[in-house]
Amino acid sequence: MKRWFAPAGYTVPYAKVKMEVGGAFDVCMRSPDGIDHLSRGRVVAVIPNESLAFEMTVVGPDGRQLFTAHTEVTFESDGAGTKMRVVQSYVLFDAAAKIMVQGAPMGWSQTLDRLDVVLSSGVEHGVFQLHRVFDAKPQAVFKAFTDPEAKAKWFGPRKEMADMTDCSMDVRVGGRETATANWRSGMVSRFEAIYHDVVPDQRLVYSYDLFIDGKKISVSLATVEIKAEGTKTRLTVTEQGVFLDGYEDNGARERGTSDLLDALVRSVS
């Protein structure tokens, strides 16, 4: 559910689903601007491989109930594939939620597109480049990437979101770096990197694997370029990623890296 149950651009940081009558159906969808939309519900009917139904109450950021949704899903064979039908009805508690309900058909269409990607078990490619300018010398920026204590100040989730464990760093050609984040939601993410090129105060090139709950979701090649510009230093980070087995990134890696670089600017400046 975390891999697909949200419209395009959204992520699912938390999902608890017990597929039996009366079982929990709780999902948190996070918007591209970081706002969480929590839906709490329960499963009301299950016929394995044929149909299921669940009811959810959508709650706003302030904790107010916005509306409830009753969803019925049916599955039937269609040649070599499966035809799925989704029917949803609503009870509104807040007039402001009307626009959300009106957008539900498009949201479901995007969500099912993501499910199709997950089930296809293919790969997705992504490339991005980010820049930052520092009021510091290149040596200070390079140290922030290569010194364990300096990197710990900016690399990783905020302390209130996760605890970092099993961190190691060996910055040399062929050297490796690891870091594990134990998230408050119960998710565990792991970063495993190997360095391919190291030019002190100028450049780092490394590849890294990222795992979520023990499953490899991506393989990336990252290049870090550091150049003096007068009294300042320009940093350029370029990443080329392959997202595996239906994992749909939707720009989340670029946004996350951008947030990390903002933290890097604060730690160096």
Domain 123-268 has CATH 3.30.530.20: yes
SS3 148: helix
CA atoms within 13 A on the CB side of 226: 21
Strands 188-199 and 176-183: antiparallel
Please tell me the CATH code under which domain 11-120 is placed.
3.30.530.20
Q: Are 194 and 175 contacting, i.e. CB atoms less than 8 angstroms apart? A: yes
Q: Which residues contact 216 (CB under 8 A, 6 or more apart)?
A: 209, 210, 244
Beta-bridge partners for 205? 197, 223
Q: Where are the domains of the chain?
A: 11-120, 123-268
pLDDT, tens only, 32-65 = 878 888 888 999 999 999 999 999 998 877 778 8
What gap in Å lies between CA 121 and CA 247, rounded to an integer?
A: 8
> Longest Cα pair distance anywhere in the chain, in angstroms?
68
What is the model's pTM? 0.60
Average pLDDT over residues 66-88: 92
The reply to whether domains 11-120 and 123-268 share a CATH topology is: yes
Q: Are 136 and 233 contacting, i.e. CB atoms less than 8 angstroms apart? A: yes
Average pLDDT over residues 4-32: 91
pLDDT, tens only, 206-253 = 999 999 999 999 999 999 999 999 999 999 999 999 998 767 677 889
Q: What secondary structure letter does DSSP report for 24? A: B
Beta-bridge partners for 89? 70
